[in-house]
Amino acid sequence: MDPIQFHWNGSTVTAEPGDTVASALYRSGVRTFTYSYQHGRPRGLLCLTGSCPNCMVNVDGVPNVRSCSLPARSGLSILSQNQNVYRGLDSPAVKRFPVAPPLSESSHHYEHLYLQFDVVVVGGGASGLEAALESASQGKQVALLEKEPRLEQAVQPHPGITIFLNCSCFGVYEGNLVGAVQIDYGRPNAETLLHLRAGSVVVATGAFETQYLFANNDLPGVMLSTAVLRLIHRHGIVPGQRAVLIGDTERCAGLSSGLEAAGIEVVAGVAVESVVRARGKDHVTGLVTETGTYEADLVVMCGPLVPDVGLAGAQVVSLAGGAAGEGVADSPYVLPSSAQSTDAIACLCMDVSGHDVVETIEAGMGHVELIKRFTKLGKSACQGRMCQTAAIHLCSQVSGQSIAQVGKTVARPPAPPVTLGVLAGMRHHPVRRTPMHYQHDQLGAVWMDMGDWKRPRYYCKETVEGPAVSLQDHCVEQEYRAVRERAGVIDVSTLGKIEVKGDDAGRLLDLVFTHNFSTLPIGRVRYSVLCDELGTIVDDGTISRMDEQRYFLTTTTGNVDFVHQWLEWWAAALGWKLTITNLTAGLASMNVAGPMARGVLQKLTDCDLSTASFPYMDWRQASVAGVPATLMRIGFVGEMGWEIAVAAEYGSYVWEQVLQAGALPFGVEAQRVLRLEKKHIIVGVDTDALSNPYEAGMGWVAKLDKADFIGKVALARLKQNPLERVLVGFELEGTNARPDGSPVLVDGAPVGWATSVRFSWEKEKVIGMAWVTPAQAKGGTRITLRADAVDYSANVVEDIFYDTAGDRLKM
Amino acid sequence: MSFLLRCPNCGERSVYEFRFGGEIRKRPGPEAGYEDFLNYALYKRNVAGVQWEWWFHRGGCGEWFKANRNTLTNEVHETVLPRDEEQRG
């Protein structure tokens, strides 16, 4: 087998099978793994259990990876962190935790998994395993989460237990939702977020060992007993030659025999109270105590054991084993005076010293929650595991309060850090395609996104020299002229389509829309606006009366779900009898428009399309190219035209027949120009979240003589009040620039903004609509549009730009 | 927020399947004044405790229902379809 080799700060390190990156580095002689972010202090292995921040490194560009959890793999490129701080290259003012660069789509595998279990046990130690087996023996389905790559004890496979290895639980949330991240170490950045819904949760995360506070306690070579024992027993590494132990006599004695068995000479065991400082520059060379100085290359802390219950948060869980405090002696201890020095580092993540803590207490902040907020102690990667116990003891000693009075900080998830990438999951955007999508593709559609939908912005099969803008103009002009001079057809399947039927259908529409619909004759279509209770325009569309109790609504593309839910809500709240069905996906629809539209469509249907029998704003049921269809004579683009709705399955066939009959396809861009010449608004483009019909120049939609409708009272008030702003049309002077969305200035001060700006082939000018104050509403008023520091002069135009009388719709 | 909500049609589901519709309020009649409508539309009671509210099962049956929920604890005491409530009287 090839040896495992990876790169460390430019050199090559060879690992043994079973090594983590941390153990391989230690084996190869590396002692400084990283540098602290604030002061650039060298840091080496401390806990080796994933509880401290000291072994965090940058792996293949991703910072803050705990090397003690990462199995060694060939080809990894690993850097220690904050080297520039150590070398004095970064100023303290700008220091911050290393930030992850964005990963490209192919360089990560973030997935989400949703699972349900009767019991979720967090922690695969002896207590966790016992809890899992007990539940499984009662026939329950159990998930057992273990953050290490293997369980401590070998276990027979049990059909009721699903074991998740390399899986860290980061929080237990409302409704017993357990959040956990399972890492696939075989691939870079491969993580799965598990959403586990549990009947009950057992937290068996054990206890963690935490550090003591004294001067230079963060020097490489000063380790917790867990790290020393893991190096010896898991990795077969003898971590030093001469060791000094710090801690209570009993635990030191126990550890001492273990170390000596591994060939380490234990020179002394001292109480933390007597420690003056650890000696050494980049690595410990000895320990200075009140009773003497000991030469040593290893200082081992038998630190206090703390039940690991951080992830339980405020939720109701069962605690088992060490997490419940079993075998965790709560032995109080006294910190030495050196714990108050600037070299005693309480918070390793944020470089908060004992001195900082004492200053904070002396400033009057004696509760650990205040210390945390003021100093940032406990607010970073290790979530207070290494600092909280030390800070509480220090605070108690300095302020004379009891440990209980000092208090503890509230633990909140996430307990271990979670990458934002895995929370975001896979980057997938749902796409909706109309039934005619692939025909548009063949016609050379240039696509645009509208909500989830793809729509052709324009069609282009030619190649024209010059910039892309002029190519678009060239294509859009041809489509525009087809509609104005002959016949065009646009796919409008994306528009929302809703059927409302039942005894109370008309009554509901009377309430929800500004117009009356219970009085609309069968066979007629009416344009209307939907307002909220404040009189704000929420959506617009057409409503056709199909029969006594059945109506057909169209909505804007993006609003169909909202309108559907809005109607459903009122129906539910009022207890009215009707059914509301969203037919959007079930129907394909297209709009044939232009002076020759009648001739084109008449080729495909027996329905008499003459104005005498099929006037403007009527609808008919008819057969189009042999397909049952609903024809609605409406005209968003300002020409004679019919909207054809057929079952989605027939959409592509009917589209093809309409093209063969002589209609030319046009896209959204041409439609936008055509409707702008007619000053037909687009809700959400020309209106915003505050626009009312009066200021949008559509006061005629508010039928205030109706008994009641949503927004009526507010609209009645708005009608009386002077307008604050108005939507006007304008023409730009002497330029083909399109400063769409730009502010409107009068005497240099902003009074509004342009909502739609396009080149009009009718006017041979750039035209648009803009919000202005009533002072500018009169035709001929000069306004200024400013875009990219260029000012454009424009004149307000009161008339509709094209076919003011609307004759062409009714030809 | 990750509690479970019992849809009267579909049973207990993650709250992420639902759209919140706000506290249940009675719309003023057409004879009411402008201030009454402003109050209705804008000024919510924002109860810290138990209230009746609207929920919509967007990721399920697509029906609006009423839920009796404690806004402090997210404990849901009761859920009911408006039409069932009517029958109950």
Per-domain residue ranges of chain B: 4-88
Residue range B4-88 forms a domain whose CATH class is alpha beta
Residues A398 and A468 grouped into a single domain: no
Residues A506 and A480 grouped into a single domain: no
Here the tokens at position B50 are 């138990």
Domain of residue A659, CATH code: 3.30.1360.120
List, for residues A510-544, the tens digit of each pLDDT value.
999 999 999 999 999 999 999 999 999 999 999 99
In a domain, A707, yes or no: no
Here the tokens at position A603 are 């080729």
CA dist., res. A618 & res. A522, Å (int): 9
Q: Check A708 against B63: CB less than 8 A apart.
A: no
Domain of residue A810, CATH code: 2.40.30.110
CA nearest to A197 within chain B: B14
Residues A623 and A754 grouped into a single domain: no
Interface of A with B in 182-241 (CB under 8 A): 197
Q: What is the pLDDT of residue A90?
A: 57
Residues A489 and A593 grouped into a single domain: yes
User: How many residues does this entry show for chain B?
Assistant: 89
Residues A591 and A487 grouped into a single domain: yes
Domain final residue pick, A182, A207, A232 = A207
In a domain, A764, yes or no: yes
Nearest to A284 by CA among A274, A273, A271, A293: A293
In a domain, A398, yes or no: yes
Residues A476 and A606 grouped into a single domain: yes
Three-state secondary structure of A11-54 = EEEEECCCCEHHHHHHHCCCCCCEECCCCCCEECCCCCCCCCCC
In a domain, A311, yes or no: no
Min Cα distance B70 → chain A (Å) is 13
CA nearest to B58 within chain A: A565
pTM for this predicted structure: 0.85
In a domain, A102, yes or no: no
CA dist., res. A690 & res. A531, Å (int): 11
Q: How many Cα atoms sit within 13 Å of B17 on the Cβ side?
A: 17
Domain final residue pick, A583, A616, A638 = A583
Q: Residue B89 pLDDT > 70, yes or no? A: no
Residues A601 and A482 grouped into a single domain: yes
In a domain, A310, yes or no: no
Min Cα distance B72 → chain A (Å) is 12
Residues A203 and A215 grouped into a single domain: no
Nearest to A445 by CA among A671, A668, A648, A682: A668
Compare CB distances from B82 to A565, A572, A708 and report the shortest one's residue. A572
Q: Check A713 against B62: CB less than 8 A apart.
A: no
Residues A593 and A577 grouped into a single domain: no
Q: Report yes or no: A532 at the B interface, CB cutoff 8 Å.
A: yes
**How many domains does chain A divide into?**
7
Residues A385 and A489 grouped into a single domain: no
Domain final residue pick, A156, A190, A207 = A207
Q: Check A713 against B33: CB less than 8 A apart.
A: yes
Min Cα distance B21 → chain A (Å) is 9
Three-state secondary structure of A627-696 = EEEEEECCCCCCCCEEEEEEEHHHHHHHHHHHHHCCCEECCHHHHHHHHHHCCCCCCCCCCCCCCCCCCC
Interface test with B, best of A197, A713, A720 (most B CBs within 10 A): A713
Q: What is the pLDDT of residue A82?
A: 82
Residues A457 and A504 grouped into a single domain: no
Residues A462 and A593 grouped into a single domain: yes
Nearest to A349 by CA among A93, A95, A70: A95
Range of the structural domain that residue A766 is part of: 722-811
Compare CB distances from A174 to B2, B32, B56 and report the shortest one's residue. B2
Extract the residue ranges of chain A whose pLDDT is less than 50.
93
